[in-house]
Structure 1
Amino acid sequence: MSHRGEILNQMAQRIPYLHFLGLRFETAGERLTAVLPFSPMLIGNPAIPALHGGVTAAFLETTAIVGLLWTGLPEGEAVALPALPKTIDLTVDYLRPGLSRDSFAEARVVRQGRRYASVHVEAWQDDRSRLFAQGTGHFLMPEGVR
């Protein structure tokens, strides 16, 4: 794992809810993927069983925020954990039930300025081409994060 990936995983461990969910980040070159390991406690609808909608939304929002940070972290340099962007809004499209298996998500920064950023995020399980959720978020950038 790269130095930037280690920083992001440290950040996730410092946020109690993300630690509770078991959320982690994996890197491959410049690609950052969020991983939400399946756990029975994440089920919201036991009849299907399907992931809770709030867990899905938190997964997408976190992936978007970390994706923003990922683009601004220098590689190979020791840096302090950055301040987090603040969510202005997040729109989630629930495309199909998230089933009882590991989930993955990736963010794409659509626009990032000094004060505002827009990010699109997609989540899948077994097949990258079959999304179970996607979202678009707008964020207020903290001072010093570019």
Structure 2
Amino acid sequence: MAKIEVNKVAEILKKNEISPAILRRVMEEMNLAVQAEPGDEEKPPAVKKQFVIVISDPDEKMPKHDFVGWVVQIPETESVATTLDRVYRSTYDHNTTKKGRLMPVKTVGEAFEHVPAKAFKEADVWVKTKTPVLIIKSDNQIPKE
């Protein structure tokens, strides 16, 4: 819907010869309506995020085999080295809740699957894949025919 300034509406009403009493009442109501709109409050700017893939390599076989991992996002201004610490912090917080005490999370994979998004959000981590995804190695070359 198009927005129009209160002053322009007043000019249009004057041009169409509306009585001053009605014009004053309409202008007062419009000024109250403009002040009362809570939707015009400015939102804080969205946090810019970067993607990080956490690779599951419990046997330290990275050069030889394909792996599974999880895709997460952290704030763009933060170091990717802090990603696992953020996941650990979220998991510790979850394990202190009632649900976490009943079924504590013990591995990173369980954390991504079972810890609620609210706990991750408090640590500025946004999990994009709850189930692990396959990571394929590449030699970064396009083969020629």
Same fold per superposition (TM over 0.5): no
Please give the range of the TM-score, normalised by the shorter of the 2 chains: under 0.3
Q: Name which one, 1 or 2, has greater alpha-carbon Rg.
A: 2
TM-score (normalised: structure 1):
0.27
Greater share of residues in helix: 2
